[in-house]
Structure 1
Amino acid sequence: MRRLFRPAVLLTLTLMLAGPAAQIGAEAPANLPGTLDAARVTAGTYSSDPGHSYVAWRVNHLGFNESQGLIGDVTGTLTLDPANLAAAKVSAVIPVAKLVTPNPALTASLLAPGADGGKPHFFGAAPADATFVSTSVVPGADGLSAEVNGNLTLNGVTRPVTLKAHLSGAGINPFNAGARTVGFMAETTIKRSDYGIMFLLPIVGDEVHLTISAAFEKK
């Protein structure tokens, strides 16, 4: 599992350095199954495509550069109506135990158990899934973006967060029985200290920048 996700970690690094506009794919080839066209979004309930939904994180490392990681296999549900975007709802389950980084030793340290049965430095050997449940959606004036407010539960702690989300594509997926599909990119920043992860503060940053890419298929 870890080896499968390492190329995606490097791709995520490239996308995050390029910026949100590049993530949305402003120069994508024509005639793709999914395009940045809100008119192609249909009302209904969607389920995430775990193979193409992930959360990437980055945090300052000693003031020199950033450490990066990725959690894939994100599952969730999205309910939306293009005529009433403010009523949209989204929930997600993020399997922290599947966290990977470009370095096996770093990955192992993030998932290491506490010494002699004590509290782990980071997530521990069998961390609970993180969850996100939206509480409100504020559509953007452009019809392609929204602020998604909700509660993030991580490491046994629940805190409110706001995701800045953008539609990245909509259409029919020819590789999954013609399922109507919508894709989104979103960003937010959290403080790991808010979730009880205090190890190596402040030399390893408190602020953790999250980039979410999710594909949802209509059922």
Structure 2
Amino acid sequence: MKFVKSALLATAVLSLSAAGAFAAPETYKLDQNHTEVAFSWNHMGFSNPTAKFMNAVGTVTLDEANPAASSVEVSFATDGINSGVAVFNDHLKAADFFDVANHPTATFKSTKVDVTGANTAKVTGDLTIKGVTKPVTLDVKLNKIGMAKKKTAGFSATATIKRSDFNMAKAVPFVSDEVNLVITAEANKD
């Protein structure tokens, strides 16, 4: 009898473990108040100015049982650029750079997730800026999944892109072609 009880208990534990291991992927919505896409460049060797977008919208689908099956889709209005200097914001919105009049939205849609560690991955996707789509790989860290007001997932990511790839090569090489991206994001499960 003792053996039967142990076998039933073991079966129940394995069943619960398997149910957790095969949990369905969950979709999270980006929190604009806690999501920032910042970028920096080198200005003639003198400085490394930054600007950012705080208006990203999109979803992250997390598959905790199979992180490689996770995905992300993000877009942001390019007229939301903020360098901290109004005149420079207008310059960045002009045709030489983001050309917001003709290209009001930039997007990123993941195509592949390569898990590199317990909480890290390389997320490759299609980045579209100014009507040009190029593959970009983000080095992503899952900071935490937990409860805030709702179930929340937090991420940090970095990448380097070239302005010239997106028809924004004005002043290269005096202003660096390479732009460093630093992204921090929170996403909430509905």
**Quick one: which amino acid aligns to residue 96 of structure 2?**
H
Match of 2:174 in 1: 203
| 1:32-43 alignment, distance < 5 Å | 43=25
Q: Quote how far apart the aligned CAs of 1:169 are.
A: 2.2
Which of 26, 40, 49 is 2:31 aligned to? 49
Match of 2:21 in 1: none
Match of 1:79 in 2: 61
2:123 and 2:40 map into 1 onto residues whose CA distance is 21
- 2:133 matches 1:133: no
**Quick one: which amino acid aligns to residue 82 of structure 1?**
E
Flag the structure with larger Rg.
2
1:143-195 Cα deviation digits (max 9, x unpaired)? 11110011100011000000000012221113xxxx10001000000000000
1:213 and 1:181 map into 2 onto residues whose CA distance is 13
Runs of 4+ in 1 over 4 A off after TM superposition: none
Q: What SS class does the counterpart of residue 204 from structure 1 fall into?
A: coil
2:186 and 2:156 map into 1 onto residues whose CA distance is 9
Match of 2:90 in 1: 108
Match of 1:218 in 2: 189
1:125 and 1:89 map into 2 onto residues whose CA distance is 27
Match of 1:166 in 2: 141
2:30 and 2:119 map into 1 onto residues whose CA distance is 19
Match of 1:190 in 2: 161
CA contact under 8 A between 2:152 and 2:186: conserved in structure 1? Answer: yes
1:6-46 Cα deviation digits (max 9, x unpaired)? xxxxxxxxxxxxxxxxxxxxxxxxxxxxxxxxxxxx94111
CA contact under 8 A between 2:98 and 2:129: conserved in structure 1? Answer: no
Q: How many residues align?
A: 166
Comparing 83-92 with 103-112, greater Cα deviation is found at 103-112
Normalised TM-score (structure 1): 0.73
CA contact under 8 A between 2:78 and 2:100: conserved in structure 1? Answer: no
Match of 1:17 in 2: none
Match of 2:13 in 1: none
Comparing 94-103 with 206-215, greater Cα deviation is found at 94-103
- 2:81 matches 1:99: yes
Q: What SS class does the counterpart of residue 133 from structure 1 fall into?
A: strand
Aligned identity (percent) is 39
Structure 2, unaligned runs of 5 or more? 1-23
Coordinate RMSD, CA, aligned:
1.4
Match of 2:3 in 1: none
Structure 1, unaligned runs of 5 or more? 1-41, 113-119
**Quick one: which amino acid aligns to residue 121 of structure 2?**
A
Q: Quote how far apart the aligned CAs of 1:53 are.
A: 1.1
CA contact under 8 A between 1:164 and 1:188: conserved in structure 2? Answer: yes
